[in-house]
Amino acid sequence: MYVALANGEWHGGHLYPQVAEDLAHAVAIVADAAQDTVAERLWQAWPLCVEHNLGMHAREVEGRLSWWCAGERSRVGAAHTRAAVGALDRGASSPTS
């Protein structure tokens, strides 16, 4: 699985066939790969929590893979789930904003 860039470069890694047996695990791997690509190519965290301006992490919450913010660790506010992976609003979480 690779992310292709407009200039012809790419970044990514392997997604093994056995991952298809567990869809949640496959989605988590894709989410991690997207985060790695943004960090490697743009040198910034993504997605960002608009409330705390912190990078979020994919975590299973109530049986659903979600973007989770550790806001309470920074003493800026409480930890919380922002959105399901794949359901972030683009304006608030864009890697270029």
- How far apart, in whole angstroms, are the C-alpha atoms of residue 95 and residue 73? 22
Q: What is the DSSP letter of 30?
A: H
Task: State the pLDDT at residue 34.
Answer: 83
Task: State the pLDDT at residue 76.
Answer: 59
Nearest to 6 by CA among 75, 96, 67, 86: 96
Nearest to 46 by CA among 7, 94, 92: 94
Which structure tokens are listed for 41?
Answer: 């190519």
What type of residue is 87? A
- How far apart, in whole angstroms, are the C-alpha atoms of residue 5 and residue 53? 26
Task: State the pLDDT at residue 92.
Answer: 43
Mean pLDDT by 10 residues, the chain (97 residues): 79 77 81 83 87 86 84 66 77 41
Asked if 34 and 41 count as a contact pair (C-beta separation under 8 A), the reply is no
